[in-house]
Amino acid sequence: MFCPNILSFISSLLLLFHGVALAAENHEKFLKCLSLQSDTISEVLYTQNNSSFSSVLKASIQNLVFSTPENPKPLFIITPFHVSEIQAAIKCSKKNGLQIRVRSGGHDHEGLSSISDVPFIIIDLINFSEISVDVEERTAWVESGATVGQLNYRIAEKSQNLLAVPVGTCPTVGVGGHFSGGGIGALMRKYGTAADHIVDAHMIDVKGRFLNRESMGEDLFWAIRGGGGASFGIIVSWKINLVSVPSTVTVFAVPRTLEQNATKLLNKWQYIEDRVHEDLFIIAILFRENSTMVSLFTSLFLGGVDRLLRLMQDSFPELGLTKEDCREMTFVESIVYLDGFEAIRESINVDVLLGRNFFRPFTGKIDYLTEPIPEEAFLGIYDIFFEQDQKTNGRLVFFPYGGKITEISESEIPYPHRAGNIYTLLYYAEWGQEAIDEAHQTHVNMLKQLFNYMTPYVTKNPRTAYINYRDLDIGRNNKFGPTSVQEAGVWGKKYFKNNFYRLVHVKTMVDPENFFRNEQSIPPFNLVKDE
Ligand code: FDA
């Protein structure tokens, strides 16, 4: 007699072999389908057997946590030059049961543009990086694979440093992910998010159609400006209105230790950062240095140093800012400065903005606050820093709010974090490249401790979050089977508040079978589960 365990073992083996054979057959079919759809695809297609596969895969995984050998690999990578190649990839993936991960700059905090635990391909838009600036019209068309640093470099070059796009403070971030998730940075108090300025886009939808604003319709155009592009299709390019910047801006980076009154200063910062003139953007970065804590106040001011000193004297005299602390420069130089002020002492080379490599292991979380935390609460934060091993490298970035970003209605675009918020708090850690996995866990634990500690002081019901700081701890879609709107609402309402429901509505219209999906994609309204 056969033992039932052996029988089930044999049947699982048979199923496995069948599955592998079926998968291999599907891959062949996928490749055949591609070659029928596109004459040029073979030039931009990398199979796992290709000698460049690994380097092409790693070329844009900016968070090194997701390039270690344990991470799942795509079956194929496509680096298209032509829209027709993207259309072919969508049609053939759909036909052969493969999922697509779209990658622009590759900075996704959870690596979702490069990994998946179901069979998948990557469409990497690294070759879609053209930028054309129209100074007279004050607009630019930019392809998704360009970085935000490259974009502002080209705009500055064409406009003699007088125009810009309001984007985040990390220049290597890709336009595709950044614009489709919102985009907040040093110009947000003056001008709002990047997505607030988008006026047209070109994308490929689930049917492989090439759409512009008019043909996609206002609902879909609304959704891709902050709702996360990956739920809706592949956005290849964006048209964005440019904003004015003065020919001279001023920056500073002033550190203060506990002995130099860091706590009182940080406390005061909470009361002024969202109320000062909208030309002034002051970030506070809190970190441990040996046996003390440092609060580093770093700033962009849209104007010259004399005006800045007057404003600081009025609003934040306790910092004791002097002319010697400040540097005047062009706006595009300030991007380089704000990104790397710790290392920048002398001249600033703006050509670094043309590079696209960030490449380090990192982890992060975000919170929004609607009122200052009590001064004593900072002491509990310090305790958590001091409990860590000296090598642990976390920091808290207090990102100011107020101004234009809070004047735009919550439902104007999917990015909903507007009036009422006074600052955002970024929990961030990056570390060296040795023992990536081990150090990852240490830093994740530290940030979680800080995040838990902050619970009483941050937004509630929901505790809001920002899709561009993707965080799978706040919830994820079911791995097997559909996810109901209610289930996805757990994380969706944190990112989008009530805009989540409009995003579900758009998703149901444009991708009812949920082809474009990932761990945190918007689900379509599902008749069975959502009744
Ligand atoms: P990536 O290519 O990984 O894409 C991110 C997501 O968007 C993925 O789900 C991907 O599939 C999808 N996607 C990408 N391109 C798409 C396309 N063309 N069509 C459809 N879907 C697409 N943010 C911010 O607002 N302000 C800031 O100051 C910073 N600073 C910052 C610093 C650092 C060091 C990091 C790592 C990140 C930030 N960010 C940020 C967050 C950043 O805006 C966010 O990670 C973006 O989604 C990154 O866009 P990429 O194209 O680089 O990522």
CA of 83 to the centre of ligand 1 (A): 21
CA neighbor of 196 nearest in space, from 242, 159, 155:
242
Structure tokens at 420: 């009422």
CA of 506 to the centre of ligand 1 (A): 21
Give backbone dihedrals phi and psi of 489, rounded to 5 degrees, phi first. Answer: -60, -25
User: Which atom of ligand 1 has the smallest separation from the CA of 105?
Assistant: 52
Out of 104, 283, 395, give the residue to mutate to test ligand 1, the one with the largest number of ligand atoms within 8 Å of its CB.
Answer: 104
CATH 3.30.465.10-classified regions of the chain:
131-244
User: Which atom of ligand 1 has the smallest separation from the CA of 236?
Assistant: 18
Alpha carbons 332 and 162: distance in angstroms, whole number: 10
CA of 318 to the centre of ligand 1 (A): 36
Structure tokens at 317: 């005299």
CA of 235 to the centre of ligand 1 (A): 13
**Largest alpha-carbon pair distance within the chain?**
93
User: Which atom of ligand 1 has the smallest separation from the CA of 103?
Assistant: 2
DSSP state, residue 360:
B
Within 271-390, strands assigned E span 280-289, 292-301, 326-329, 362-369
Structure tokens at 433: 């490249």
Out of 58, 86, 90, 102, give the residue to mutate to test ligand 1, the one with the largest number of ligand atoms within 8 Å of its CB.
Answer: 102
In order along its 531 residues, the chain shows pLDDT tens digits of 334 455 445 544 544 445 555 577 888 999 999 999 999 999 999 999 999 999 999 999 999 999 999 999 999 999 999 999 999 999 999 999 999 999 999 999 999 999 999 999 999 999 999 999 999 999 999 999 999 999 999 999 999 999 999 999 999 999 999 999 999 999 999 999 999 999 999 999 999 999 999 999 999 999 999 999 999 999 999 999 999 999 999 999 999 999 999 999 999 999 999 999 999 999 999 999 999 999 999 999 999 999 999 999 999 999 999 999 999 999 999 999 999 865 666 789 999 999 999 999 999 999 999 999 999 999 999 999 999 998 899 999 999 999 999 999 999 999 999 999 999 999 999 998 878 888 999 999 999 999 999 999 999 999 999 999 999 999 999 988 899 999 999 999 999 999 999 999 999 999 999 999 999 999 999 755 554
Alpha carbons 335 and 353: distance in angstroms, whole number: 8
CATH classification code of 11-124? 3.30.43.10
Contact criterion met (CB below 8 Å) for 176 and 144: yes
Nearest CA to ligand 1 atom 49: 177
CA neighbor of 337 nearest in space, from 350, 354, 325:
350
User: Which atom of ligand 1 has the smallest separation from the CA of 101?
Assistant: 11
Residue 45's DSSP bridge partners are 78
Q: What is the pLDDT of residue 341?
A: 62
User: Which atom of ligand 1 has the smallest separation from the CA of 173?
Assistant: 52
CA of 105 to the centre of ligand 1 (A): 7
CA of 251 to the centre of ligand 1 (A): 26
Out of 113, 184, 507, give the residue to mutate to test ligand 1, the one with the largest number of ligand atoms within 8 Å of its CB.
Answer: 113
CATH 3.40.462.20-classified regions of the chain:
249-329+359-454
CATH 3.30.43.10-classified regions of the chain:
11-124
CA of 469 to the centre of ligand 1 (A): 8
CA of 63 to the centre of ligand 1 (A): 11
Q: What is the pLDDT of residue 442?
A: 94
CA neighbor of 94 nearest in space, from 70, 52, 69, 123:
123
Out of 86, 90, 108, 225, give the residue to mutate to test ligand 1, the one with the largest number of ligand atoms within 8 Å of its CB.
Answer: 108
Choices 3.40.50.20, 3.40.50.970, 3.30.465.10, 2.60.40.60: CATH for 131-244: 3.30.465.10
Report, in this order, helix, strand and coil percent for the chain, each rounded to 5.
Answer: 40, 20, 40
Nearest CA to ligand 1 atom 36: 107
Nearest CA to ligand 1 atom 26: 168
Contact criterion met (CB below 8 Å) for 508 and 524: yes
Structural class in CATH, domain 249-329+359-454: alpha beta
Nearest CA to ligand 1 atom 28: 168
User: Which atom of ligand 1 has the smallest separation from the CA of 193?
Assistant: 25
- Give the three-class secondary structure for 42: helix
User: Which atom of ligand 1 has the smallest separation from the CA of 172?
Assistant: 52
Q: Which residues are catalytic?
A: 469
Structure tokens at 185: 């940075």
Nearest CA to ligand 1 atom 44: 468
How many other β-carbons are positioned within 10 Å of the β-carbon of residue 288?
18
Q: What is the pLDDT of residue 309?
A: 98
CA of 461 to the centre of ligand 1 (A): 26
Q: What is the pLDDT of residue 530?
A: 57
Structure tokens at 367: 């919170």
Alpha carbons 383 and 315: distance in angstroms, whole number: 30
How many other β-carbons are positioned within 10 Å of the β-carbon of residue 454?
20
CA neighbor of 466 nearest in space, from 188, 199, 151:
188
**Chain centroid offset of residue 302 CA:** 25
User: Which atom of ligand 1 has the smallest separation from the CA of 224?
Assistant: 20
Nearest CA to ligand 1 atom 40: 168
Q: What is the pLDDT of residue 438?
A: 87
Nearest CA to ligand 1 atom 47: 177
Please provide the DSSP assignment of 163-225 as one string.
EE----S-TTSBHHHHHHH----TTHHHH--SGGGEEEEEEE-TT--EE-HHHHHHHHHHHTT
Out of 60, 165, 237, 468, give the residue to mutate to test ligand 1, the one with the largest number of ligand atoms within 8 Å of its CB.
Answer: 468
Residues 6+ apart with CB under 8 A from 133: 139, 140, 154, 155, 158, 159, 163, 242
Spell out which residues line ligand 1, taking CB within 6 angstroms.
101-109, 112-113, 125, 144, 168-170, 173-174, 176-178, 180-185, 229-230, 234-235, 358, 468-469
CA of 28 to the centre of ligand 1 (A): 32
Q: What is the pLDDT of residue 265?
A: 98
